[in-house]
Amino acid sequence: MNKKVEWDIIVPVKLPISLKNVEPGKLHPSLLRDIPQGGKLHYLAADAWNAMVDAAKKDGIELKPTSAGDTYRSYDSQKAGFLKRYQLQPIPGQSTKTFEGKTWYLKKGMAMLATPGKSQHNLGLAVDIHTASDPKRLKWLIANVLKFGFSWEVVPSEPWHIRYTEGDAVPQAVKDWLALNPKPAGMFGTPAEQKAAAEAVEVKKSKPKVIDVSIAKDKPRIIKDNKGKAVKEAQELLTKHGFQCRPDGDFGPKTQELVKQFQKSKSIPITGEIDETTWAALLS
Ligand SMILES: [Zn+2]
């Protein structure tokens, strides 16, 4: 099971001093910075991320988070995600986590999620990269993450999850990038201005979209190794949603991986099958 992968690159995280006495998920807005693709990161991680995104772009590789929620996560948003995926009612054989003194069971078909306050997303140091296991993107990441102070945390099951490890020692490649891309003055504003801006964003955030499964009622359930027209249609829809997929009408391992990533990005159960919910998400 412990298959060795090429991206087995794990560097322990050195905490920036600014995070030493900070409660995870409760970072002061002055420590966070918006990143251009949506979401926020700790300012040191944001610099490193922006530098890496630029370098990748020069090599024809697009790097972006799977969603804005897969960058910094507040304690409350991590808790909401946790409660969606874990339940108190025991499920035999499912993995468990302890939270608030109780044992929680991972719901069937759900991907594991760190306990609220325990994730490096709660420190603004972690990003989940959109379609990270796309071979070209992964190859680029393997060759470059360390230079920008990033590495993986969970190998081999989470190729998308990288975190900034270098604390206050800004890597040279990031320094070089900062020299060419000086930060605009007043970017952060006063703490009060930042707080107001953060609250405005909270209010603007709309409720998660409820998926109407009825639009998928005529679609067949597709499981691995299925072939045909419906598979081709699903592959084309995956591509339309940004998960580049060859429309060969064959539901092989590559398509399945993209389906899982698509499901993760939509926060629907990660089944690796194209069921009614997945069809509905693909069609909407
Ligand atoms: Zn992650």
pLDDT digit string, tens, across residues 86-141: 999 999 999 999 999 999 999 999 988 999 999 999 999 999 999 999 999 999 99
**Token pair in block for residue 102:** 């109780």
How much distance in Å is there from the Cα of 217 to the middle of ligand 1?
33
How much distance in Å is there from the Cα of 121 to the middle of ligand 1?
6
How much distance in Å is there from the Cα of 219 to the middle of ligand 1?
31
Instruction: Give ion ligand 1 contacts, CB < 5 A.
Output: 128, 161
Are the C-beta atoms of 7 and 152 separated by less than 8 Å? yes
What is the per-residue pLDDT across 152-205, written as a single tens digit (0 to 9) for each? 999 998 999 999 999 999 999 999 999 998 765 444 555 555 555 555 555 555
Weakest mean pLDDT among 62-71, 147-156, 185-194: 185-194
Confidence (pLDDT) at 30? 83
How much distance in Å is there from the Cα of 46 to the middle of ligand 1?
15
Distance CA 19, CA 55 (A): 27
How much distance in Å is there from the Cα of 59 to the middle of ligand 1?
24
Distance CA 84, CA 93 (A): 19
Percent of the chain with pLDDT over 70: 89
How much distance in Å is there from the Cα of 284 to the middle of ligand 1?
25
How much distance in Å is there from the Cα of 98 to the middle of ligand 1?
19
How much distance in Å is there from the Cα of 162 to the middle of ligand 1?
7
**Token pair in block for residue 215:** 């639009």
If residue 152 lies in a helix (H) or strand (E), which one and from where to where? strand 150-152
Q: What is the mean pLDDT of residues 216-236?
A: 91
Confidence (pLDDT) at 182? 74
Q: How many CB atoms lie within 10 A of CB 203?
A: 7
Q: What is the mean pLDDT of residues 15-27?
A: 91
Instruction: Look up the pTM and report it.
Output: 0.64
Average pLDDT, the chain: 89
Confidence (pLDDT) at 111? 87
How much distance in Å is there from the Cα of 115 to the middle of ligand 1?
12
Burial of 124 (0-12, 13-18, 19+ CB in 10 A): buried
- 152 forms beta bridges with 162
Confidence (pLDDT) at 200? 53
Distance CA 45, CA 248 (A): 39
Going by C-alpha positions, the residue among 144, 130, 152 that lies closest to residue 39 is: 130
DSSP 118: -
How much distance in Å is there from the Cα of 127 to the middle of ligand 1?
6
pLDDT exceeds 70 at position 62: yes
Question: Three-state SS for 42?
Answer: strand
Confidence (pLDDT) at 202? 56
Percent of the chain with pLDDT over 90: 71
Question: Three-state SS for 249?
Answer: coil
Question: Three-state SS for 105?
Answer: strand
Distance CA 71, CA 39 (A): 6
- Pairwise pLDDT comparison (269 vs 200), residue with the higher score: 269
Measured distance between the N- and C-terminal CA atoms of the chain, rounded to whole angstroms: 36
